[in-house]
Structures are given as structure tokens and as C-alpha cells.
Structure 1
């Protein structure tokens, strides 16, 4: 029996397997609202056979966007547009769907990657002044963000809670909070970005304070059985930055607050990072956090082969694996994994006839007569 295709329980949410589609920004929204692209893109991935689909980083306010084309969940129009996408998925796929709620912090007001990805200069009508823990730009050539004051912190916290309530109304199955990749909540955690001298800066406990306040606000805003978890950068890959022991301390705090899991990535807060890339290069971080805290972990990063994913789960390095680019390239990756590992996977009945003859038990529930 494949361990990758065993069920996984997250709060009241039972996943049929341990394959997660990681959130991937599409830079294709209009004023924060999902478009036909999202309907096609997310609908396509919803037919993959994965256990969980996490919607891309979804901004909790206009200022929280990375780019003007980022997805958002801060207005009634945003909610209606995303609701159309979710309704289509629910009508045709049993996949669990979560959303990653995010605030870009000092990396906000940027061009889409295919437009260069650079910060939009001050005064440009497409941009805005980014906000962050401290008035420290991501790189020396960029315009400094505005440091959040006490009122700003309360506003952002409430924006996360408000977006979470919208996610509940949409019938989503879970919420992931984005504490990774150099965005706002990661900026509070990392001493490379957080230069504050108040209760939200300095010591590790102080730097964790605001992300934990946001987690508490979101946890309180949703039903008790709805799982809330976080994505974290386990290390900044920069000396003197956020590191694995810090992530373990954060995981302990989150576990005590009812966090369902930790989705373990790395990097993103500094252009000075030096990342040692290789297959499964972030898996040891997920393994260590899981071993030290008992918190379920999702491993991500250059996990591309079914046997590799199976080994990660079967050896106890992580409870689940997440794929991003590999899933875009091969959106039926879970079908291939099930075939290679001798497991079954859910597939829409319209596709049952595609089952290979050598894998006659691949699709669960198949009963198809060809005329």
C-alpha cells in the first residue's frame, strides 16, 4: 500500500491522499477579482487527482497585493468572482480546496514577472507605497516601504480575519497563512527585515508576536473544525537571518494555538540569500520541524518524482508533499504517481476511458462501457 495515497486528517478535513498542489501566483486578476483564467487554471488542476488544491497567494487588501494583477479576497466583487470558480470546481471535482491568505509587505507594488518583476516607481498610477514592519526596502535600489504603526497593525490583522470570513462564506475547506518568501508576516519574523524597537521587534518572541496575532485572529474568525495552517520559510539562507531553530520555536507556538500543519519552504526575504538547490532540498527542514514539535508538515521544493514523494512520506520526513511547477508541467502527476506506486486515484468519469490497459485498477470507482 502506497503511503502517499493514504488519507490525511487536517482538523475536520480528511484528504484522500497526501499530494498537495502548492499555491502559485498567476498575476491574472482584475482589481483583485478572479477571471476566466482562474476558472480554466484552477478547474484544470482540480481534475488532477491531488488531495488538496491551495489557491494562489490571495491578498487581504489592495495594498497587500504583490502586483496590480494579484488575486484578492477583500471586496464583495472579489468574493463573487472567486465564488464562481469555486462553484465550478465543486460541481465537477471532489478535491479539497484551500486558500492562501497573504500580504506582500515591502515586496508589494511590483510588476508581474513577465513584465520584469521590478518595483513600480513612486508616482506611477499603477503602484502604491508598500507597507512593512520597518522602512527598509527589499533591495537598496527600491523605494522604502512605510513602517506600520499600531493602527496599521490592527488594520492588517483585521483584514486577514475579514478575508478568512469571506473564505468561510465561499465554502472553502481550509486556510493557509503566508508566513514565507519575504512577504509581510515573514518580514516580521526575520531580523533582516524587522528593525523595530517596540513590542514587535528585537527578540524572537517579539518578532513572532504579530504573525501569531494574525494567526489567532484568523483562527477565531473561522469554524472550529476548519483547519488553519501556515507556510513558512524555514531559513532565510542568510547569516544572521531567520533560521531553522527559529522555525521550530514558531511551530511550537503555532501548535499550541491549534495550527493544523506547517507547509515548509525557505528563502525570499533577502537578495543576499544563497540557496543550496537540489532534489528535495527543503525536505530536511520539514523533517526536523515534524520531529521536534510533532506538528504535521508538508514538504515542498524540487519534489518531482513519485518514488521520491513516496519515500518522503513513507520514511516520516513529512506528512504530505506539495508540488508547484511540476504540477503545471504535468497536471495529471497524481495519476502517474498512482500508476507507478500501485495505488488508485479519483478521476472524472469523462476521462475514465483514458485508463491505460496496463493499469486497469488506476481510477477509483471506474465503471465504463464503451459503445
Structure 2
């Protein structure tokens, strides 16, 4: 199988965005420059990183680290390794991810969550290809290719002094953007069948996959805030519940409702709480981009109440995006500050 065919099997989709993404991967794969993969959570950044590593021609393997999932106090030791006795509990020498990635690819996922004090050590390792394990003065030389990923706006983090500007420019030599699933809805049908085949081949489901047209249409018109990861979870749930029978629209609606009910959002400002409440309490089909699907599945809508709900959601989203800067949010909404204050009071925000 050619590289192009293999890439198409891993990065699924025929939309313009995905065609451009595959071209970017092919263009940069064999070059030893850092790549920064951007995109929302669950959009498939890990798949892109794996594809880059597979096509790189490097003899080593892909070593992945999620910077957000490891406690800050342990991240340095995880990345650079440590000597025996370097700290309490260090009963033996440990080889870090940098050393494990020698002759291969190091993938730092959620790089935007890396602590500032560790960013300087990462920058030095990138520039010199040398590092010292925790508790050691010896330097280890490594040959690795770096790929980073984040769902954050790193440039904004630089402005806010949460991310080093020199590191940002060093890791973003070649940026690749992975689109949100809602922005490539034309790929959803292919993804549905691809994910179902993956689940079957991996042994996670031994049932056949069959889906009715109306059910597939509902999947194609849902907004998928959790992107491909959420779609995969829904497909797995539907396959299990179908019992080998064709999946219908009612089963899809139930699965989407359960996804929303199980969503856990961070609580923050009143506006963020209101936005979270709207997300968790709405019908699972309120988020579709085409209202026709809402009426097909639910039938009735009280327009005055619905418009008030939409207005509340829009105002809350603007306040969250503006980080509760009322003047900025008012500009976003083309309102005066006094008008926005009135709306906040009326909408209980």
C-alpha cells in the first residue's frame, strides 16, 4: 500500500479541509522541522501526529506525552528522566521520554499546559539536542523530531505571559490545523463507517454495522462539540445496543441525549455557568445546524421561548469569549454597554 493510500485510510475525509491537511502532512513528513498541530479537543490531532511519524522515515518510534495529564511536579522527570535518589521515591534510574524518542519522534500533546519554568528547559533541549536528567549533571545527546499539539490559542497565551514567545516561534515552524467536525460535516458519513470498521476489527465489537438513512442523517446534522472522539463513542454505543440490527433514528436520538446529559463542564463565571446550563439542558438535537432535523425528530417548538433561550446563550457566549469584559462583549454584540447590562439583568446572567 502506498503512503498516500495509507494516509487516506488514517486521515478520513474528502472535504477541502481534509485534502489540504493530508497534503500538509505529505509535504512536511520527511523534513526534520518542528510541527505544531492545532485544533479542538477530540478532532484527531493524535492521528495526524502518528501519520507524520509513520511517514518521517526515522528509525525510532513515536513517543507521546500529554502535558495536561501529568502533574506539574512530575512532568520534568517524565520528560527528561531522573537518576536514582534524585527525589523521594526515585528508587532507580528512569529513562525519560526525550531519551526514549532517540532516532524517532517526540509528540508533546497539550503543549499549552506546560509550566513556564519547564518551557525554558524544553527550548534548550530543542536548540542543543542535549538535556540533563533530574538529579544529574551529565548531558545526554538525542536525535529526535518534535511534534506538538494544542487546542489552545498559543499566541494568546504568549500575550498573557503564560507561554514563552521564543518557544512558541521555535515549535510552530510548520503549523497544521485540524478542523472541528462541525466544519466538515460532509465527511461524517465516511467517518461513521470508518469508525464502525475500526471497532469491529479491533475486537471491541463483533456485531455487524448497519444504519438507516434517517439515523445517519441525524448523525450528519449534529454539531459534535466533542468532535471525532465523541462520534466514535456514540458509534460504539449504538453498535452495542443495536444487537446486530440496523440502527434507527430513535436510537441515535437517545445516544445523543445521553452524551449531553453526561457532559461535565467546568463551572466559572455566571455567564459560563449559564452557557453550560444551556448545553446540558437542551434537547440533543437543538445543536444541529439545520432546524429541519429538529422538527423531523421533535415536531414542535415554542418560538418565543426558543428565541429567548437562543438570545441568552449568545449573550452568555459573548461574555465568556470576552472573559467578562462587558465593554468588549458589547462590541461583539453590536450593543451599547447599557443595553448589554439590561440584557444581562433580563436574561439573569
In the superposition, the TM-score normalised over structure 1's length comes to 0.27
- The structure in which a higher percent of residues are helix is 2
Larger Rg: 2
* Bigger strand fraction: 1
